[in-house]
Structure 1
Amino acid sequence: MNQTEIINIFTKKTLGLTFVLSAAAFAFAQEKVGISGSVVSKNNQPVPYASVTFSNKANKLFSDATLTDEKGQYKLDLAPGNYDITVEAIDYKKSLVNKQITAAGNIGALSIEPEKTTTNLKTQDIQGVTITVQAKPYKVELDKRTYDPSQDIVSKGGNLQDVLSNVPSVSVDTDGTVSMRGSTNVKFLINGKPSALLGIDDGANALQSIPADQIERIEVITNPSSKFEASGTSGILNIILKKNKKVGFNGNVTGTLGYLPRTNLNTNLSWRKNKWTWFLNGGGGYSENKSKNDTETTYNNIVFPNIPATQTEQPKDIQKYQLQNSTNKSYNNNYNVSAGFAYDISDKTSINLSGVVRTFDGDSRELLNTYNDFYRFNMGSKVWDPKQSFVQRDSEGRNNNLAFQGDIGLDHKFDDKGQNLSLSLSLQRNRSNNNSTILETQDSVPVLQDITRRESLNKNIIGKADYELPIGEQSKIEAGYRLDINNNDYNNFVSSTSNNQFIPSYNNTTVYKEMFNAFYLQFKSKVGNLGYQLGLRDELSTVKINYDNLDPNFQPINKTKNYNNLFPSVFLSYELSKDNQILVNYSRRIDRPRSFFMVPFPNYSNSQNIFEGNIDLNPSYVDSYEVGYSISRKKFTINPTLYYRHATEDTKMLVYRPDESENVFYTKPINLGNDDRYGLDLNFTYDPFSWLKIMGSLDMFGYKTTGIAYYTAKDAEGNNKVGSMDFTGDGFSTRARLNTTFKLDKTLSVQLQGFYRGAQKTASQDTQDMYALNLGASKTIWKGDGTISFNIQDIFNTRSREVFSYNSDYTRRNFMQWQPRQFSISLTYRFKQGEKIEQPKKKKDINANDTGGDEQGGPM
């Protein structure tokens, strides 16, 4: 059976599944009308996460319940009739009203009064009805999917990288690289905007700097609308940090101990009274990381030239075989603190101010052993003799990072119908220093010493304005403007005893500036069961690069690039019934080169592996299409999505040897050919019993890449020749994840989590499959005020990657393990929480999805 037949069968089965699920959904459909409303306090302030219960007086089967979102608003479908409406919220008095529901529309605001003694009592001591909200960990919305990590036991006490390993549609590689649907061009946002918390280049160290306990939810935006910035062709991961909105003083403290040695202490504190809300989040600790990397290279097509008898100079060595193995150990201290407040100037206007400080210090030591098997010309016998050598490189590095960020925002409501204006300004500064010393010996004799120093300074200004204007009950216009000013200063120094001709070029300074002006307009409406959202975004960008180095023959480079691009988006949804819809969308995206990709010689790591920038690198553009289906019932949710992405001028990494007699490899980013991705992204949750919860995801995708890169190299005789690297290829691969949680009793839960990544193959590279299994356990203690958690990451120590690379003159095998098996234990203590394990009186379960809203002005 060939690949085409497999894809045809796969497509038929997928369409068949969609048809069956659609037919089942129609069977559940009721003749209901969509209503909306809000819950407000006595002073007309929205009450988030209040429960609203509609009891039909004629037929209890038509009764339903929901929760308000963080803006105090709710929506649901009800059969027309007479309803008793009960409103309940923590720290508020219970309210009961009666309304006649006759047609779709907004039923207005429901008002509730606060408890008089709220600030003097623990929530668990308040008598009356206690609401237990069972939030679903994964929810599908029109233009994004929301993941709630609160039920993720395995990542307790961990960091953002650990959480992302469990998010549907997201994969984390062995070296910390994050990808979505097999592509690594992912854009990270914190609370809707780029953040100093993630550093300049969004590396693995940045992901490890954000504690899991500070994350409220993660928005997975595989096909962003025009409201979001156009960067990130694979999609956007918007990390929403916790901001407690409960009245009075609330918070928690979490301490973690683990191995490889890890210590963390994190806290989230908030205080809310009257018009003021204060918050303080902070923490950090010490951690050790360990990785290993083995590389085996065999050189092909070695030709031994005929040596004339008159030749007196020794020819260059010809490499036959090389074996490298390295171990790297790093020691990191990572801390961050964020604080701020929000003040309600009036019932319709509020202001917020916040600041973030992040510091990172790390030391690393890498030991690289290289065994070379080569041929050397013997001038006496006039023949090529086999030789061997053993080279050892001992690298010691130190890096530190200090980041600041300040944000100010203003939110104004023109009326109670949803006409809103949000303004925000963010100032960010990030300084990073990386120093290393490398000592190389050959057959125990010192032959080389490298000393490098890389300094970078990033300054960023982001200004945003977002406006919302409702039109009737079903329509809304959204418009906005965003300004990004980003300055990166790079200062590199290299001192080396090697004879590398490019060493002067690595002593350089670069000033990289980019400015983006973005405008968007979006219209959202609904006609019957059909919802649609049309958007258009215009981004005007200017990039300036000033590069200079110490090479006396080099002329400074001053280059300016201007782009003006339109990015449309279309989102359609059709509701077959309540919580049962079909989603179709399209968007156009851009992949802008990273700043250091465009610096001709950005950094020097060692004399055998050279990274060379490309100042002529251009953006890549992607057209993305999705057709999805979502059905949600009491015990299960299913969300299959068929997708297709077409990228032009895709960025690839060209790896080549400019001199075949030397074992020096160069890596250079280039624009090359097209890249097509298509597949099925299936996510589901299933709660068959009260003690068992299952969440899984499956991504089956095909890929097709076209393009051949050509380069000039010297052969063994010193003559120039044209080499090539073929990126053309196609194939099919899979990603799978299964998360199973067992609730053994009211206070104890155990979680098993496994993932599988299928093999991938192109014309020049084969990547082998990979799998891992994690275990977590969590127990509630101290009458609900504390939680103790334990987890093991990679139980069987299988999380490693093996890659085979091919070229016309070499074959390479690479094995990498970023982190071996780890385990940790954490303890959390909560201050004045609204949830309680033992319910004193009446208990009412409501299934709800905490969707929330955009923080600090949204994603513009």
Structure 2
Amino acid sequence: MLKRLQIFALFLFTTMVLAQKPDVKKIKISGKIFEKGTTLPLEYATVVFQDAKNPERLNGGVTDLNGNFSFEVTAGTYNVRFEYISFKTVEVKNTTYNTNTDFGTIYLEADIAQLAGVEVIAERSTVEIKLDKRVYNVGKDMMVKGGTVSDVLDNVPSVTVDPEGTVALRGNENVKILIDGKPSGLAGINIADALKMLPADAVEKVEVITNPSARYDAEGGGGIINIILRKGKAQGLNGSFVLSAGNPETYGANSSLNYRSEKFNLFSNIGYNYRTSKGNSLTNSEYISASANPNSIFLDERRTNERLNKGYNSNFGIELFLDKTTTWTNSLTIQNRRGENPDNVFFYNFDANRNPTFTQNRLNDEKSKDFTFEYATNFTKNFKKEDHKLTVDMSFSQNRDKENSIIYDQIIGEPNSFFTERTLNPQNQSRNLFQTDYVLPIGEKSRFEAGYRGSFQKNLTDFEIDALDASGNWVRNDIYSNLLEYKENVNALYMQYGSKINKFSYFFGVRFEDSNIEVNSISANDYNTKKYNNFFPTATLNYEFSETSSMSLSYSKRINRPRGRFLNPFSSYSSRINIFRGNPDLNPAYTNAFDLGYLKRWTKVTFNTSAYINMTDDSFQFIRRESGLFVEGVPVIESTPINLATEIRAGFEFNVNYSPFKWWKLNNNFNLFRNETKGDYSYTNSLNELVVQNFDNTATSWFTRISSKISLPYKIDWQTNATYYAPQNSAQGKRYSMTSVNLAFSKDVLKDKATIALNVSDLFNSRKRRSEVNLPTVNSYSEFQWRQRQINLSFTYRFNKKKNERDNQRRGDDGGGDEFMG
């Protein structure tokens, strides 16, 4: 790739020199380059025009992501070459060109001999930086071998995953996660849990889109993360198997198999995983009485967990090539998992002088079952004109999730205080999706798109708490039990138009969404219906200073609808004194997002930077307040989300890919952001007094991640990732800094048909979320570690498929690409 860029730079210089000559006839050369035997375009293929009379004089260009090339040359006689690494060169010798020439489609054939000997330096960078998005190729990253999709996302530029599994983009948790460009039943009811279950080896790449166009769902004020699953594109039978084992006890087996012919393409990803994860937390709290003569009591909470997740996932389908322009793809996804999470908590109580009063133990033995089924179908029709196509997508999914637990609670040394409770939490979700998209090229430089999406979702959550009485009967606790029904029907229409004028291009669009939301707390006989419709405009402006330098300005309006535990009036009972309660009356939050980006490529460096600002109305804020209840004299503190504030989030980030040597690659991501909130909240405390809290707050924080990959002798690769999260203040406390380091080594064996990889997640066991909360009635400090240091060893075997095969480089229809290329 570096050699190609150097040649291309020479082309540009030669073109500039020739342009200074008077009375020289210029002609336009165009066409496209595809892989022979498929409909896959070859991006960055090279077209070389060599002057037949003066061989030192070169001109030409490279293809874009759709395989197109277009450039000008001086009329004359040339030897022409069409080249791509690991493919056989096509040559046209000693031919005179006096008028504009369109070569049509040039097909290049893979050179098997070359492909077998491709060196590691010929790989595309693990992180591809584009002006409107970043593409993370999972197949080249040793760090996630044997891991999960959560591990994948935690290595993606601009993306962070906190110790609880919550995903954030540029520090913003209001992010929409898609699978293959669509909302997926794989996400189930709890997206964080789903990502921890899906194996990393099932993922081909991840696209990060910070300011999406009108084609995408308007959901997600922070942007979109699109996870693209593997679907092989190589001819014949090929695939890979991955075996992994780790400490704490973890093992798995995953396969990716593909068979492609001229008429159809069969693909599958099947795996079984067994993972244990040890975690712990501590919270030290001081509770201050709200009376005229305040007194304090102290409570230290210590918690340990040893989670177990086991289950299988399978995805298989068939892509039918009905004719040269029409494909029909059908796929079936099944995921079944079992989980255990014994949560053991000790509460150490102290009086105002820090003298021990009593110790309480609470064991929450939780078990879970989750089953997901999804059928998806796609129909794609390509018309005669390039990029003119119609696609139709439908998917139907069902998710059943059950979380049941037995809770044992007692004061140590007081047998009569022992009591037993249980929680029952079955959840059912159905999601149906209908979508169609139409793309119409207009002339050579313009494009029109339009489409429809209908998303219809229904969730039913039946949360029940029972207490075991003296007679051995279970008695329902109506205070905390609740049956919640959530229905969401969203119909959307969009259109967008883009064009390119010389070096300037633009893309304007608008999306209309009609939303019908029902949040029904059936147990409380509380029914909420929210109907609203909105227009969501988008705009992107782009200017190319040169082939290696460009700038863009983009705008989009986004929406963030509350779901799941945000809405359930009661959805947590892991602690009797710290309760999380949802709010069924939450309204959606709206965001206006602006982004100014700049991209520059040099021979060894790719640099991308952007400044952004997101302005959100009615943003969700978590407030902590007294519930009015007491447990053993300790007030129960309730945490709940409300539409509290106007939020302005502004920031600056940059990404750098740097290859100082052929054997060393560096990637760095830095993000600095400032978050300003404005709002007031009032409630009545246990003394029937009105408490007014001011949430006006300005917090500045940053995080950075650096990744280094070094190719050592004997085909050994060494990769290191280090991430630092700076501290951040909030209206009710602050979050402390956090640092984590991951390490991995890999070696190719069996004539490069297999790879052994060893990776260590959280090398120094330092990935802990530390925070403090300061309220009028309580001050607390906490540390939380979701998962301790993890060590994994994996073995990958490939057949009929080389390590450096370019499956991840090809630009098929991944269900999510919408960037405008003039």
Over aligned residue pairs, what C-alpha RMSD do you find? 3.2
* 1:503-652 alignment runs, 5 A limit: 503-549=477-523, 554=524, 556-652=525-621
CA shift at 1:84, angstroms?
A: 1.0
**Any idea what SS the aligned residue of 1:245 has?**
coil
Q: Deviations along 1:717-766, whole A, 9 cap, x unmatched?
A: xxx01224432211321110111111113621111111100000123211
Bigger relative contact order, structure 1 or 2, given CA contacts below 8 A and separation 6+?
Answer: 1
For the 8 Å contact 1:124–1:834, the answer to whether it is kept is: no
1:491 maps to what in 2? 462
**Any idea what SS the aligned residue of 2:420 has?**
strand
Gaps of 5+ in 1: 1-23, 116-122, 307-317, 376-383, 838-845
2:744 maps to what in 1? 776
CA shift at 1:467, angstroms?
A: 0.3
* Cα distance between partner residues in 2 of 1:256 and 1:730: 45
1:410 maps to what in 2? 379
* Cα distance between partner residues in 2 of 1:802 and 1:61: 63
Taking structure 1 as reference, are residues 127 and 631 closer, same or farther at Cα in structure 2, changes over 3 Å only? closer
CA shift at 1:167, angstroms?
A: 0.6
CA shift at 1:299, angstroms?
A: 2.1
Taking structure 1 as reference, are residues 126 and 235 closer, same or farther at Cα in structure 2, changes over 3 Å only? closer
**Any idea what SS the aligned residue of 1:562 has?**
strand
Of 144, 155, 179 in structure 1, the residue corresponding to residue 144 of structure 2 is 155
* Cα distance between partner residues in 2 of 1:29 and 1:705: 54
* Cα distance between partner residues in 1 of 2:127 and 2:391: 28
Residue 805, structure 1, aligned to residue 773, structure 2 = yes
**Any idea what SS the aligned residue of 1:208 has?**
helix
Taking structure 1 as reference, are residues 67 and 241 closer, same or farther at Cα in structure 2, changes over 3 Å only? farther
Taking structure 1 as reference, are residues 335 and 849 closer, same or farther at Cα in structure 2, changes over 3 Å only? closer
Residue 450, structure 1, aligned to residue 421, structure 2 = yes
Name the stretch that deviates more: 502-511 or 467-476.
502-511
For the 8 Å contact 1:432–1:457, the answer to whether it is kept is: yes
2:22 maps to what in 1? none
* Cα distance between partner residues in 2 of 1:557 and 1:162: 40
* Cα distance between partner residues in 1 of 2:634 and 2:476: 15
* Cα distance between partner residues in 2 of 1:834 and 1:222: 33
For the 8 Å contact 2:665–2:708, the answer to whether it is kept is: yes
CA shift at 1:305, angstroms?
A: 6.3
Letter of the 1:54 partner, please give it: V
Residue 56, structure 1, aligned to residue 41, structure 2 = no
For the 8 Å contact 1:221–1:236, the answer to whether it is kept is: yes
For the 8 Å contact 1:52–1:85, the answer to whether it is kept is: no
Name the stretch that deviates more: 672-681 or 395-404.
672-681
1:474 maps to what in 2? 445
Taking structure 1 as reference, are residues 40 and 373 closer, same or farther at Cα in structure 2, changes over 3 Å only? closer
For the 8 Å contact 2:464–2:477, the answer to whether it is kept is: no
CA shift at 1:300, angstroms?
A: 3.0
CA shift at 1:669, angstroms?
A: 1.1
* Cα distance between partner residues in 2 of 1:138 and 1:836: 15
Letter of the 2:106 partner, please give it: L
For the 8 Å contact 2:14–2:58, the answer to whether it is kept is: no
2:24 maps to what in 1? none
2:261 maps to what in 1? 273
* 1:52-201 alignment runs, 5 A limit: 52-58=45-51, 62=58, 66=62, 69=65, 73-75=67-69, 82=78, 84-87=80-83, 95-97=90-92, 107-111=103-107, 123=112, 133-201=122-190
CA shift at 1:323, angstroms?
A: 0.7
* Cα distance between partner residues in 2 of 1:509 and 1:129: 59
Of 304, 310, 320 in structure 2, the residue corresponding to residue 343 of structure 1 is 320
Residue 752, structure 1, aligned to residue 746, structure 2 = no
* 1:728-767 alignment runs, 5 A limit: 728-745=696-713, 747-767=715-735
Letter of the 2:676 partner, please give it: K
1:840 maps to what in 2? none
Residue 855, structure 1, aligned to residue 820, structure 2 = no
Letter of the 2:607 partner, please give it: I
**Any idea what SS the aligned residue of 2:139 has?**
helix
* Cα distance between partner residues in 2 of 1:712 and 1:102: 85
Letter of the 2:421 partner, please give it: D
2:285 maps to what in 1? 297
Q: Deviations along 1:528-552, whole A, 9 cap, x unmatched?
A: 1011110100000101233222xxx
For the 8 Å contact 2:467–2:476, the answer to whether it is kept is: no
Of 636, 643, 652 in structure 2, the residue corresponding to residue 664 of structure 1 is 636
Q: Deviations along 1:583-639, whole A, 9 cap, x unmatched?
A: 111111011001332233345444322222222110011111111110112211000
Letter of the 1:466 partner, please give it: D
CA shift at 1:241, angstroms?
A: 0.9
Residue 285, structure 1, aligned to residue 273, structure 2 = yes
* Cα distance between partner residues in 1 of 2:119 and 2:287: 71
Q: Deviations along 1:72-114, whole A, 9 cap, x unmatched?
A: x234656556451335687x86533367788999642114579
* 1:236-247 alignment runs, 5 A limit: 236-247=224-235
Letter of the 2:462 partner, please give it: N
Taking structure 1 as reference, are residues 502 and 435 closer, same or farther at Cα in structure 2, changes over 3 Å only? closer
* Cα distance between partner residues in 1 of 2:779 and 2:116: 72
For the 8 Å contact 2:607–2:654, the answer to whether it is kept is: yes
* Cα distance between partner residues in 2 of 1:171 and 1:482: 29
Q: Percent identity?
A: 30
Alignment coverage as a number of residue pairs: 786
Letter of the 2:678 partner, please give it: T
CA shift at 1:493, angstroms?
A: 2.0
For the 8 Å contact 2:618–2:646, the answer to whether it is kept is: yes
Q: Deviations along 1:23-53, whole A, 9 cap, x unmatched?
A: x99x98964999653335778x524448743
* Cα distance between partner residues in 2 of 1:418 and 1:34: 21
Of 669, 672, 696 in structure 1, the residue corresponding to residue 668 of structure 2 is 696
Q: Deviations along 1:406-452, whole A, 9 cap, x unmatched?
A: 01111101213221000011001100000011111113333332201
For the 8 Å contact 2:663–2:711, the answer to whether it is kept is: yes
CA shift at 1:466, angstroms?
A: 0.3
Letter of the 1:829 partner, please give it: Y
2:798 maps to what in 1? 830
Taking structure 1 as reference, are residues 774 and 42 closer, same or farther at Cα in structure 2, changes over 3 Å only? closer
For the 8 Å contact 2:700–2:728, the answer to whether it is kept is: yes
Gaps of 5+ in 2: 1-8, 20-26
